[in-house]
Structure 1
Amino acid sequence: MRVTPADNPYQEPRSGRLTAWGNSLLAGFSPPDHLVEEVVGSDEPHRVTGLPGDAAGDLHGLSWALGRLRVLGATGLRLALPAEGHPLGLTGPAAFNLAALTAGEAVLAVGLPLGLVPQVDVHGPPGDQATTVLWRCLEVQDGPPADVPSLYEAERELAEGLYEATAMLTRLDVAGAGPDALRELDRFRRRGHTELLAPGYPPRAVRVLESARQIAALLAIAAGSHGAAVSASEMAARSAALAPLRRTARRAQVAAYNALVDEKRD
């Protein structure tokens, strides 16, 4: 069974973990074993294929592959979280964009025209499943990533988008919106910030990512609850109200993960 980030909005995208810990490693803040531990988690060991000079079928571990990219000229990593009609973080060409869109995520090397797209497969019966991840290395175009805001812009957009969407959802009387959603977001923001991103990231990036992930969770709750929206027109109105904030949250996630290479200071 193939898996993408959209299958579980509460789970951090693997491309995000690779971006964060890869940047931390390349910047000298973390050792290679931390990269593997933090990115792989409970998965089977990740493998990378398609690196320059590889023969067909060659497979490498994550730390070896990242070391190879560094030798080839990579100075950092950037996250892409594309969705239909929104090539967020992508630079082309069409073949890479299509692969990233199918996966729902990708990692682009900084200083090197290459990117990595994960293929995630879950095997086995419920309760005894194993997850394998194969990162395919593909050529990318050199250019600015599509639609990625600065951290400052992302933080401002999150605050404005939450206010606007909450007002819209309250008018629609949707469960999970209104004061309860705001109180839940406030409780989340008061928690510690030590588990997100990786060593070396600025505090603002952690704040932005934390807010974006909580908003994504609240959107998933709102989308999955019927509330008073029972007619087709009310359901369509709810979907329209959620769409801009969902895009805002994804833009903020990308800005946060890319901060170690894109932001000069917090």
Structure 2
Amino acid sequence: MLSDPSEPRSGRLAAWGNALLAGAVSPDDAAEAIVGDDAVHRVVGLPGESGPVGLTLALGRLRSLGVRGWRVALPVPGHPLGLSGPPEFNRRALEAEEAVVGYGAPYGLVPQVHEAGSPGDLHVEVGWECLSVREAMPADVPSLGEAERELAEGLREATATLSQLDVAASGPVAEAAIDAYRARAEAGRAGLAPGYPPRAVRVWELAQRVGLLVSLAYERGHGGAVSAAEMAARGEALRPVERVARRARVAAYNSYVEGLERGV
């Protein structure tokens, strides 16, 4: 089965959290969109609360504490994308491979995902841990304009690389996967929240497309080559393209805060 290219939970929280801060959606609509297909989301460690609270209360409380916007971090080993410290927050975010970082107040949220229920009736529960963050520029996040230029080149490189490696990530199977992704996006299951500028939406969609091509390449393999050396060559060639797509995705989510910093 092909990977679902849907956005990370931190992306949903940042995008809809920003839409809420901008007054583009109601608290209930924002919380519903963030939860998505999960059963429930709760926030633990929120200042002033002794136990877990719901998203609506948590987002309102963090706003009252000074959060004016949300950034996304999508770190992986060797690439602390979007992180600004301190070490404890970075460590937890790296374990989860995602986090949201508040702008305007030193708070961040890291998701912990759990399956609950009986076999055959499992559901997903998400606990967001509220931790202190360092108020500093996030690591390695390009501007939206830089990300768009990098993505255009990345898409060309991905197409050329897959062709050279004879990777089965093109043709009817790939097109069907991309069409399915687009159908989900049009149905409102994925995408940036209301209030984001058209350029951010364009960068996000292109980053998703590049990421999907990379995912197809990893999962479907070579057209006929299966040796360890050829698999290593595929990974080495695709890694820079995957990195560009992750950087662009984060830039798109973070464009709301980028606009605040520019006074737009």
TM-score, length of structure 2 as denominator length: 0.89
Residue equivalent to 2:56: 63
For residues 139-161 of structure 1, give each alpha carbon's deviation from its aligned partner in whole angstroms, at most 9, with x where no partner exists: 11111000111111111111101
CA contact (8 A) 1:202 1:265 kept: no
Q: Deviations over 1:112-149 (max 9, x none)?
A: 11100010112345642110000000011111000111
Q: Unpaired segments of 5 or more residues in structure 2?
A: none
Q: Flag structure 1 segments of 5+ consecutive residues without an equivalent.
A: 1-6
Quote the Cα distance in structure 2 between the aligned partners of 1:61 and 1:20. Answer: 18
- Name the structure 2 match of 1:198: 193
Counterpart of 2:44 in structure 1 is 49
Query: How many angstroms apart in 2 are the aligned matches of 1:121 and 1:135?
Result: 11
1:218 aligned residue: 213
Q: Aligned with 1:129: secondary structure?
A: strand
Deviates more, 1:179-188 or 1:211-220: 179-188
Distance in 1 between residues matched to 2:220 and 2:29, nearest whole Å: 39
Per the alignment, in what secondary structure is the counterpart of residue 136 of structure 1? strand
Is this contact kept in 1: 2:116–2:123, CA < 8 A? yes
1:144 to 117, 130, 137: 137
Aligned residue number for residue 30 of structure 1: 25
Query: Aligned pairs, how many?
Result: 258
Q: CA RMSD in A?
A: 2.7
Alpha carbons of 1:116 and 1:187: their partners in 2 closer, same or farther (altered >3 Å)?
closer
Give the letter for the 2:225 counterpart: A
Cα 1:249/1:31, change in 2 over 3 Å? same
Task: Mark the CA change 1:265 to 1:238 in structure 2 (over 3 Å): closer, same or farther.
Answer: farther
Aligned equivalent of 2:69: 76
Q: Partners of 2:263 and 2:242 in 1: how far apart?
A: 27
Between 179-188 and 210-219, the greater mean CA deviation after superposition: 179-188
CA contact (8 A) 1:189 1:210 kept: no
Residue 51 of structure 1: CA displacement?
Answer: 1.4
Identity percentage of aligned residues: 57
Bigger drift between 217-226 and 236-245 goes to: 217-226
- Cα distance in structure 1, aligned partners of 2:178 and 2:237: 18
SS in 2 for 1:96: helix
How far apart, CA to CA, are the structure 2 residues paired with 1:172 and 1:187?
A: 25
Contact 1:172–1:228 (CA<8 Å) still a contact in 2? no
**2-side partners of 1:164 and 1:33: how far apart?**
42
Pick one of 215, 227, 233 that aligns with 1:231: 227
Query: 1:9 Cα shift?
Result: 4.8
Kindly provide the amino acid, as one letter, of the partner of residue 8 in structure 2: P
Q: In structure 2, what is the equivalent of residue 3 of structure 1?
A: none
Q: State the AA in 2 paired with 1:91.
A: S
Q: Distance in 1 between matches of 2:25 and 2:184?
A: 24
Amino acid at match of 1:148: V
CA shift digits 1:160-206 (9 cap, x unpaired): 01212221221111111589869986997899878421111000111
Distance 2:241 2:263 in 1: 26
Instruction: Classify 1:161/1:179 alpha carbon distance in 2 versus 1 (closer, same or farther; 3 Å).
Output: farther
- Give CA-to-partner distance per residue, 1:216-264, whole Å, 9 cap, x none: 1221111011322211111111001110111111111111111112135
Instruction: Note the C-alpha offset of 1:42.
Output: 2.3
With structure 1 as the length reference, what TM-score do the two structures score?
A: 0.88
Q: Distance in 2 between matches of 1:230 and 1:247?
A: 24
Aligned equivalent of 1:175, options 168, 185, 209: 168
Distance 1:186 1:152, change over 3 A: farther
Alpha carbons of 1:265 and 1:155: their partners in 2 closer, same or farther (altered >3 Å)? farther
Counterpart of 2:9, as a letter, is R
Partners of 1:154 and 1:75 in 2: CA distance: 23
Q: Aligned pair in 2 of structure 1 residues 180, 105: CA closer, same or farther (>3 Å)?
A: same
